Amino acid sequence: MSYLSPKKKENIGLSPYDLKFRGRKRADKVRITVFDITPDNVTETSVDSVEELRIYRGSPSITWINVDGLHDEQLIGDISTIFSIPTYILSDVMEPSSRPQTEAFDNGFFVSIKMLEFDEKKNTVAVDNLSLIVMDRILITFQEEEGDVFDPVRERIRKHTTKIRTSGADYLAFALLDVVIDNYIYILGVYGEKVEELEGKLILNISKETLKIINSFKHELNDLRINIKPAKEMVNGLVKLDTELIQEENQKHYKELQDNINQAVDLLDYYREVLYDELSMYHSAMSTKLNDTMKLLTIFSVIFIPLTFIVGVYGMNFSNMPELRTHNGYFIVWGVMLVAVLVMLWYFKKKKWF
């Protein structure tokens, strides 16, 4: 799930104004869909040519243009020309491994964030770099491939005729970001349940398999941290962004994003701490188990030391050993050894050594 990738050698030193795709191609074909929204009507269309998007520039309706696939440099360049978006902004869009960020430009602002989606069948998390460009009545979103977490927002646009249709592109951008961050919290909750369930198993059963599970969870939570922590910085920057495109009535909603991302980061930190506590508990339990084993072996060693001494003494081959000619010497030696064992066991028990 981790989204860290090394910089390719051919991308070193490129101008930030060059529209060059710097990621891994994840879509065979670029797909463009459009939601054209008015208070009374919503039109959903798929666009085959970028030129078809010109009609939405200056349109009185609210337009959401979604682009799936970032590898077509010519297409991204045409979008830059049609909507007067600076090339340095779209250059960041075409570098999906970049950190979440926000930046204002002359006629809009740009936001990027990692979109996480949990696959319940595969029990894995997919990562997609989401970029949003918000302008006057226009929202353009860029994704690496088709498939996202925005179906609830699409349903609200189709069914509701109030807030989401009338509050502008900035509110629509908030709705999308809100879904992304809510998915952070949901995914963390899924992993959190597994981590807490593991704690109960840890008390009952200590095994190497448990250590493998702990290390697996630790790796997955670290991957989540890589993608979620920078989003907090981005949201804080977005709330402070100096732009007139976020209407005053919608600023409170962007502050809600701060509360949500703070909750996500707090959950992430909490579950990581629980996991590290479980790791410490595992090592402590293994150490205790080892100590108990060593204590038992030590007790056996201590018991056999005097027995070995007695047997060693009477195992010598000197002829002048009076005890060797004693009629009941064999039984006497056994008796002495048994008494020695019982005395030592009584003493260890009294000291609570076992």
The CATH number covering residue 313 comes to 1.20.58.340
Cα gap 233→247, rounded to integer Å: 21
Whether 244 and 298 share a structural domain: no
Cα gap 348→341, rounded to integer Å: 11
Q: What is the CATH number of the domain that holds 154?
A: 3.30.460.20
The domain boundary residue, chosen from 251, 284, 317 = 284
Cα gap 90→22, rounded to integer Å: 12
pLDDT of residue 6: 55
Q: What are the Cα distances from residue 58, in Å, to 39, 54, 63, 147, 300?
A: 17, 9, 10, 29, 89
pTM for the whole thing? 0.80
pLDDT of residue 297: 83
Whether 251 and 125 share a structural domain: yes
Whether 136 and 196 share a structural domain: yes
Sheet holding 62-68, edge to edge: 42-47, 31-37, 62-68, 138-143, 124-135, 108-119, 101-105
Whether 271 and 149 share a structural domain: yes
Residue 90 token pair = 């779209």
Whether 267 and 299 share a structural domain: no
pLDDT of residue 5: 54
pLDDT of residue 319: 73
Q: Which residues of the chain have pLDDT under 70?
A: 1-17, 203-205, 354
Whether 101 and 249 share a structural domain: yes
Cα gap 284→206, rounded to integer Å: 10
Whether 29 and 173 share a structural domain: yes
Q: Is residue 101 part of a domain?
A: yes
pLDDT of residue 4: 52
Cα gap 347→339, rounded to integer Å: 12
pLDDT of residue 58: 84
Cα gap 201→203, rounded to integer Å: 5
Whether 163 and 219 share a structural domain: yes
pLDDT of residue 270: 92
- Give the helix/strand (H/E) hosting 114: strand 108-119
pLDDT of residue 262: 95
Cα gap 32→52, rounded to integer Å: 10
Q: Is residue 2 part of a domain?
A: no
Q: Is residue 1 part of a domain?
A: no
**β 62-68/138-143 pair status:** parallel
Q: Is residue 4 part of a domain?
A: no
Whether 131 and 271 share a structural domain: yes
Q: Is residue 220 part of a domain?
A: yes
pLDDT of residue 238: 92
pLDDT of residue 274: 87
Contact 177, 111 (CB under 8 A): yes
Whether 110 and 143 share a structural domain: yes
The total number of structural domains in the chain stands at: 2
The domain boundary residue, chosen from 230, 265, 284 = 284
Cα gap 345→110, rounded to integer Å: 77
Whether 180 and 153 share a structural domain: yes
The domain boundary residue, chosen from 284, 308, 324 = 284
What is the phi/psi pair of residue 205, to 5°?
A: -145, 120
Residues 6+ apart with CB under 8 A from 257: 174, 177, 178, 181, 235, 238, 239
pLDDT of residue 27: 84
Q: Is residue 170 part of a domain?
A: yes
Write out pLDDT tens, residues 75-129.
999 999 999 999 999 999 998 888 999 999 989 999 999 999 998 888 889 999 9
Write out pLDDT tens, residues 249-260.
888 999 999 999
Show the domain range for 331: 292-350
Q: Is residue 3 part of a domain?
A: no
Whether 253 and 335 share a structural domain: no
Q: Is residue 109 part of a domain?
A: yes
